[in-house]
Each structure stands twice: as C-alpha cells, then as structure tokens.
C-alpha cells in the first residue's frame, strides 16, 4: 500500500488515482437521489417532502462517520508516510470500533423520540406518517451507513480505491433495483425506499469489514487499543468535514421551514430536488478530495515538499477547469434534471426556475471543498474547519435569513451561490498565506 502512495505523481497519475473516489462519491450521492426519484414519481411530492424533513437525522450519522473517516485518514496516511505501520493499523481499528459503537447508540436512542423529533424537524400533520416510516427504518441501518462512510476513506488509504468503487457501484445498482421492487412490485411505500437504501449501504459495509479483517497488507484490523491522542486528532482534523454534514442538516431544516412558509409542501419538494442536484455535483469534488487526501498526507509525513507543490498545482487547476464545465452542464440540463424527479406541475415550475439560479454555486463550491479537504489532509484541522463552518453554516444561514426578505423565493435560490462566493473570497486569502506567500506557515516552500 505504501508503495502506491510513495511514488512520483504526474498530473495524469494523480487524477487516475482520484478517479475511483470521484465515481464512488457520485454513486453515493445517487443513493439518496434514486430514492428521491422513485418516491417523488410514484409516491408523490408530499412523500418527497417527508424524506427531506427527516434527512437531517441521517446527516448526523454521516457527519460523525465523515469526521472519523477523513480525520482518521489524515493520521493513518501520515503514519504510513513516517513508516509507523503498526500505529496506522491500531488507529484504523480504534476509529472503526468507536464509529460502530456510536451508530448503535443512535439506533437505540432515536426511535424513542421519533414523533417529537419529526415534529421538531418541521413535519406537518400531512407529512408525519411518512416521516416516521422513513426515519424509523433508516435508523435500523445506521451501523451500515456508518461503516460504509468510513470505508470510503479507509479503502483509498489502503491502496484499494478500485475495490471501494466496485462496492459502491454494486450497492447503488442493488439500491435502484430494490427501490423498484419494494415501491412498485411490493408496494411498501416510503418504508420500502428506506429498506432499499439500507440494504445497499450494507454491501460495502460488510465487504469492508471482511477486507480489513482478512487482509495482511500494510493496513488491516488489529487488536483494539484506545489511543486518546489519535482519537482527538482524528476528530479535530475531521471536524471541518463533520461541520459540513451537520450544517447540511441545519440548512436542510432551515430551508424546509422557509419553503413551507413561501410555497407550502410543494416548496419543500422543490428545494429537495435542488439539494439533490447539489449532492450530485458536489459529490464530484468530495470524491476528488477523498482521492488525493492520502497522497497529500503521505507526502506531508514524508517531508516531500516538491511533490506537494506538484500535487497542489494539479489539484486546483483541475478544480478550476472542471468547475466551469460542471456549471455550464448544470444550467443547460436544469429542465431535464428536474423533470426526472417530479410530475407535479407546481413543484416542477418552482424547481426548474430555482435550479437555473442555484446552479451558479458550482462555480465556487469545488474550490471551497477541495481547499477544506487539502487542509484536512495536511492535518490542519483548524483552517479546514474555519472554511467549512463559514461555508456550510454561517454564510448560508445569513443568506437565508436576509435574501428571502428582499427577493422572496428568488432569495432562497440565491442563498447558496452567495454563500459559496463569500467562502471563495476567504479561501483565496488562506491559499495566499499557506501555499503562495513565503513564510513559516507555507506548506509548499
């Protein structure tokens, strides 16, 4: 495994290494999107709104897993770069066990407060039954969701990105097939969609467990030992990615309340469709960040600044060029994308108009996501957390609380593009300090 990271990465080799992670994260995004398509087209806009109402709870599981996965990855790859393979293996084992324990705790506790929780998240009487059904079933698969998210990162560091990609694609196909079977053939309603997603998540979760249990390469499970320092550093390094996921929960909740006020249940369905588009396009850059993270961490641990400079230049040139391309694609394809999700005329009209405005956030989001991920890989959790916290919470909340007051529903569509642009201004200043201007804090000179 170390050999695959300890090599000279040409621009093509870097992109080739990251490619499986990009596809993997796109397919991960498709899990939720496929559910949304089946639910909206065959169960109606109210069912789609119910899914979005309770999704913040699922985001909590993903947030914790993302923190332990990305933050732990930075430590594990750094240890491998320093030749500390045993410490890397013990860190992997510890974080997996702790993540699994947390997911089991959430599985047990959340159903006790199911109805009050759905109400607190904004469920109306019309949506409550579907909210309860989807959330109660989804939480049964919380351990699978946790392990799948962890192994997305750890399989890349183990030098097996292709295996992670294969498992994710297989799980995605299984999820789509089961959505059809459990919603159309056996009409189980929204609970069927939750079961389909959970079974899909279980495939990479179980396969990842077997891989790390049976493998005897550089990275595999060993006897559990508690390392408080490494646990703290993993949480610290991965806090930015956790903030991103938790902020998604808060922002989804806030969007739901605002859209219920502005356009009722159809407004919630419309913003759900826009957020699905964001999952898909941002999944591209999340995958890229996961793919290059172990390389950056390894080279940083090995002290190879020349290679880091090359990786930095290649990464952000790729991000800038692809951001323009993806934005153009998003704007052009807005009507076909929206039409896939809904047959309801009112929901379609709202979402189609909104997506054309909303899509401009993709000009900036890729650079912001890659910047946060790069700092995480360098074990600079503080700067990464600042970027993520402002990007995914502060700037969006401020935009959502102000822009709709002046521009109505158009202000809601503008909130995320404005927040991403403000984050870009901050990220450019941080790049100047840590990557461009000479000084003690520069990682590349």
Domain-located, residue 12 = yes
Q: For the chain, state the CA radius of gyration.
A: 21
357-391 pLDDT per residue, tens: 999 999 999 999 999 988 888 888 789 888 988 88
Q: Is the pLDDT of residue 437 over 80?
A: yes
What's the pLDDT score for residue 240? 67
Domain-located, residue 190 = yes
Q: Is the pLDDT of residue 84 over 50?
A: yes
137-151 pLDDT per residue, tens: 999 999 999 999 898
| Token pair of 124 as six digits | 């109306």
Residue 245 — φ and ψ, nearest 5°? -70, -45
Mean pLDDT for the stretch of residues 398-405: 91
Q: Which residue has the higher pLDDT, 5 or 386?
A: 386
Q: Is the pLDDT of residue 422 over 60?
A: yes
165-174 pLDDT per residue, tens: 788 888 888 9
Domain-located, residue 228 = yes
User: For residue 6, how many other CB atoms are within 10 A of its CB?
Assistant: 15
Mean pLDDT for the stretch of residues 239-250: 73
User: Within 13 Å of residue 123, how many CA atoms lie on the same side as its CB?
Assistant: 27
Mean pLDDT for the stretch of residues 230-237: 83
Domain-located, residue 128 = yes
Q: Is the pLDDT of residue 417 over 60?
A: yes
Of the listed ranges 44-48, 190-194, 413-417, the least confidently predicted one is 44-48
CB 180 within 8 A of CB 236: no
CB 219 within 8 A of CB 76: yes
Domain-located, residue 197 = yes
Residues with Cβ within 8 Å of 6's Cβ and at least 6 positions away in sequence, in order, are 81, 298, 302
Instruction: Give, to the nearest 10 degrees, the angle between helix 239-302 and helix 362-377.
Output: 60
Contacts 24+ apart (CB under 8 A), 432-435: 434/375, 434/380, 434/383, 435/312
What 3 state SS string does 158-213 have?
A: CCCHHHHHHHHHHHHHHHHHHHHHHHHHCCCCHHHHHHHHHHHHHHHHHHHHHHHH
Mean pLDDT for the stretch of residues 398-412: 90
Domain span at residue 375 reads 2-436
Distance CA 37, CA 185 (A): 16
Domain-located, residue 64 = yes
What's the pLDDT score for residue 44? 82
Q: Is 186 exposed, middle or buried (0-12, 13-18, 19+ CB in 10 A)?
A: exposed
What's the pLDDT score for residue 245? 73
Average pLDDT, the chain: 86
Domain-located, residue 93 = yes
**Which of the four pLDDT bands, split at 50, 70 and 90, describes residue 35?**
confident
Cβ-count burial 408-424 (b if 16+ within 10 Å, e if not) = ebebbbbbbbbbbbbbb
Q: Is the pLDDT of residue 177 over 50?
A: yes
Instruction: Give, to the nearest 10 degrees, the angle between helix 11-43 and helix 305-332.
Output: 30
What's the pLDDT score for residue 337? 83
What's the pLDDT score for residue 1? 41
327-366 pLDDT per residue, tens: 999 889 888 888 888 778 888 888 888 898 999 999 999 9
Mean pLDDT for the stretch of residues 88-113: 90
* Number of structural domains in the chain: 1
**Most confidently modeled range among 7-16, 41-50, 114-123:** 114-123
**Which of the four pLDDT bands, split at 50, 70 and 90, describes residue 421?**
very high
Q: Is the pLDDT of residue 45 over 80?
A: no
Domain-located, residue 441 = no
Quick one: what percent of the chain has pLDDT higher than 90? 27
Smallest CA-to-CA distance from 160 within 217, 87, 206 is with 217
What CA dihedral angle connects 381, 110, 49 and 421, to 10 degrees?
-10
Q: Is the pLDDT of residue 155 over 90?
A: no
Mean pLDDT for the stretch of residues 253-276: 83
**Which of the four pLDDT bands, split at 50, 70 and 90, describes residue 251?**
confident
CB 274 within 8 A of CB 337: no
């Amino acid at each position: 495994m170390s050999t695959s990271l300890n090599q000279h990465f040409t621009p093509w080799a870097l992109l080739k290494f990251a490619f499986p992670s990009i596809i993997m994260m796109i397919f991960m995004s498709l899990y939720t999107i496929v559910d949304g398509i089946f639910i909206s087209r065959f169960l109606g806009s109210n069912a789609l709104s119910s899914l979005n109402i309770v999704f913040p709870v699922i985001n909590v599981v993903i947030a914790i897993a993302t923190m332990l996965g990305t933050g732990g990855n930075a430590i594990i790859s750094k240890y491998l770069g320093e030749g500390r393979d045993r410490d890397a293996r013990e860190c992997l084992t510890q974080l997996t066990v702790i993540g699994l324990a947390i997911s089991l705790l959430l599985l047990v506790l959340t159903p006790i407060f199911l109805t009050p929780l759905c109400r607190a998240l904004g469920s109306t009487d019309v949506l409550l039954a579907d909210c309860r059904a989807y959330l109660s079933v989804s939480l049964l698969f919380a351990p699978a969701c946790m392990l799948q998210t962890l192994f997305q990162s750890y399989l890349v560091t183990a030098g097996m990105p292709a295996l992670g990609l294969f498992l994710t694609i297989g799980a995605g196909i299984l999820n789509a097939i089961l959505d059809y079977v459990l919603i159309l053939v056996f009409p189980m309603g929204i609970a069927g969609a939750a079961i389909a997603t959970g079974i899909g998540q279980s495939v990479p979760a179980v396969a990842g467990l077997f891989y790390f249990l049976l493998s005897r390469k550089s990275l595999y499970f060993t006897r559990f030992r508690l390392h408080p320092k490494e646990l703290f550093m993993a949480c610290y390094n991965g806090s930015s990615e956790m903030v991103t996921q938790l902020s998604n929960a808060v922002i989804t909740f806030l969007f739901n309340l605002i859209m219920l006020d502005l356009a009722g249940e159809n407004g919630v369905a419309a913003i759900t469709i826009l957020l699905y588009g964001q999952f898909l396009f941002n999944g591209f850059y999340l995958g890229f960040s996961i793919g290059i993270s172990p390389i950056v961490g390894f080279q940083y641990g090995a002290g190879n600044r020349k290679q880091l400079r090359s990786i930095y230049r290649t990464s952000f040139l790729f991000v800038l060029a692809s951001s323009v391309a993806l934005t153009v694609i998003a704007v052009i394809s807005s009507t076909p994308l929206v039409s896939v999700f809904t047959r309801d005329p009112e929901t379609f009209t709202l979402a189609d108009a909104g997506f054309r405005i909303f899509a401009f956030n993709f000009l900036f989001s890729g650079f912001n996501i890659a910047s946060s991920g790069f700092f995480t890989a360098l074990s600079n959790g503080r700067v990464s957390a600042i970027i993520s916290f402002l990007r995914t919470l502060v700037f969006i909340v401020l935009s959502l609380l102000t822009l709709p007051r002046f521009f109505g529903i158009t202000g809601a569509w503008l909130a995320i593009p404005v927040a991403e642009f403000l984050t870009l201004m901050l990220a450019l200043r941080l790049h100047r300090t840590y990557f461009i201007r000479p000084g003690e804090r520069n990682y590349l000179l």
